[in-house]
Amino acid sequence: MSRRHLWVIWGMCSALLAAAPLRCLGASASGSAPAGLPPTADLEYKTTATMKLMGLPVTLHARTTTRWRLDGEHYEMHLHMDTAEFDQSSRGTLGPDGALIPERYEEKRPFHSAEAVQIDWAHDQVQFGDAAPVHAPAPGAQDRLSLQFELARQFERYPERFAAGSTHEVNLVGTHDVDPWKFTVAQAEPIDTGRGPMPAVRLSARRTVGTVEESMEIWFGVDLRWLPIRIRIVDRHQSIIDSVLEQAVLP
């Protein structure tokens, strides 16, 4: 069955799905076989970043690359944004249903040292940098980078769960804490990319931190195995990072 035929099924099932209980990311259907993420993927994005420097707005233009590698039951991925010199990396294993289980996340921001997070699922612990280990989040948690590919995997395997208006909860592991996020699915829409217009489905989440709001929007490409073709983030400092796909290399 083609992905386009699935749109018809989603429309017929929307009313039923809206009344269904929420499922957390990482949940799986009993007895089903793992859905396959591609063994390799190299994605390149055109990024516009707007932030404040000494109280004045500054806009940077950068090229962001995401590199994904899957070797048996282990995965590694790395994101690099030039100009801003921002890096993220995630590595871990796959669960029985193919879900990503991150074990180490690293982040390097401009003018800051790299920060790492270790998740020891066997001992139910997470360690932020050199701090003492604390209780790990519930299974299904993702780090800030693995989230993109875990959502893509869920789109590919469980398309019926992503009807417009449905919501999906996830605990997101950062460099200092674990935050709950709730994503809402929007209607399909075309996104202009370096490869031309591409059909996509947007997931968006907003949360309040103190007196400010931060948000995350990810558009997943219908014809690119649901990999992200646009990512827009507004952080708690009101910096905006907007990345749109330019090139993609998949097997």
Amino acid at 142: Q
Q: Is a pLDDT exceeding 80 seen at residue 213?
A: yes
Mean pLDDT calculated for residue range 92-117: 93
**For the segment 2-51, what is each residue's pLDDT rounded down to a tens digit?**
444 433 333 333 332 233 333 334 333 333 334 579 999 999 999 999 88
pLDDT value, residue 174: 92
**For the segment 141-178, what is each residue's pLDDT rounded down to a tens digit?**
999 999 999 999 999 999 999 999 999 999 999 999 99
User: What is the DSSP secondary structure assignment for residue 159, as one 8-state letter?
Assistant: G
Number of structural domains found in the chain: 1
Q: Which domain holds residue 95?
A: 3-249
pTM of the predicted model, to two decimals?
Answer: 0.83
Distance CA 53, CA 220 (A): 32
Identify which of 19, 12, 6, 15 has the alpha carbon closest to the alpha carbon of residue 155. 6
Distance CA 158, CA 43 (A): 23
Are 32 and 227 contacting, i.e. CB atoms less than 8 angstroms apart?
Answer: no
**For the segment 57-92, what is each residue's pLDDT rounded down to a tens digit?**
889 999 999 999 999 899 999 999 998 789 999 999
Are 91 and 75 contacting, i.e. CB atoms less than 8 angstroms apart?
Answer: yes
Identify which has the larger pLDDT, 237 or 15. Answer: 237
